[in-house]
């Protein structure tokens, strides 16, 4: 599969694939044999899709690389992998919990704001977060 096809299937531009390749996020398929063109497996399409998905969820490319290496190397010791996975899991759980805070603040806002009157007194987003937040910054 050539670069254009991968890009299309993954829903990104060709340049993005080249960019990810330089970043080491996807396989380096230098194939001077075939006219010098890159040749990818369908695996790469999945990888690229995973990258985009993870980005939407707030992971940086560096973090995504970590996520990806969790499954990568057959040589790697399982204990090491577990450790990294556990750390990522903690991050993810933390993120979910904090989003849940925002979620309930928004739900409050929507419930209390029944659609009549002015909005001023019924929008406790900041308040809701303030109280949880006060001394909890890292």
Partner DNA sequence: CTTGACTCCGTACCTAGCTACGGACACTAG
Partner DNA sequence: CTAGTGTCCGTAGCTAGGTACGGAGTCAAG
Applying CB under 7 A, which residues contact DNA?
2-5, 12-16, 18-19, 30, 34-38, 51, 55, 60-62
Query: What's the CA gap between 2 and 59, in Å, rounded?
Result: 27
Pick from 67, 107, 105: nearest CA to 87? 67
- Other C-beta atoms within 10 Å of 24: how many? 12
Using CB distances below 5 to 8 A depending on partner kind, what does residue 3 bind out of its own copies, DNA, none? DNA
Complex with DNA: residue 60 or 103, whichever CB lies closer: 60
Query: What's the CA gap between 50 and 69, in Å, rounded?
Result: 13
Residue with tokens 């704001």: 113
Complex with its own copies: residue 15 or 83, whichever CB lies closer: 83
Complex with its own copies: residue 31 or 104, whichever CB lies closer: 104
Query: What's the CA gap between 77 and 80, in Å, rounded?
Result: 6
Q: Cβ 38 to DNA, closest distance in Å?
A: 3
Binding site for its own copies (CB under 8 A): 11, 46-47, 49-50, 52-54, 56-58, 67-68, 70-82, 85-86, 88-89, 92-93, 95-96, 98-100, 102-103, 106-107, 109-110, 113-120, 122-126, 129-130, 133, 137
Pick from 72, 129, 64, 123: nearest CA to 91? 64
Using CB distances below 5 to 8 A depending on partner kind, what does residue 80 bind out of its own copies, DNA, none? its own copies
């Amino acid at each position: 599969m050539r670069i254009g096809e991968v890009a299309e299937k993954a829903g990104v531009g060709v340049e993005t694939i080249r960019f990810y390749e330089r970043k080491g996020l996807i396989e380096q398929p230098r194939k001077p044999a075939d006219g010098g063109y890159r040749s990818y497996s369908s695996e790469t399409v999945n990888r690229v899709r995973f990258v985009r998905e993870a980005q939407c969820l707030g992971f940086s490319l560096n973090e995504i690389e970590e996520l990806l290496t969790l499954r990568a190397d057959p040589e790697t010791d399982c204990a090491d992998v577990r450790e990294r996975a556990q750390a990522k899991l903690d991050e993810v759980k933390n993120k979910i919990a904090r989003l849940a805070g925002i979620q309930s603040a928004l739900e409050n806002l929507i419930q209390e704001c029944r659609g009549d009157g002015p909005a001023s007194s019924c929008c406790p987003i900041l308040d809701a977060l303030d109280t949880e937040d006060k001394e909890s910054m890292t």
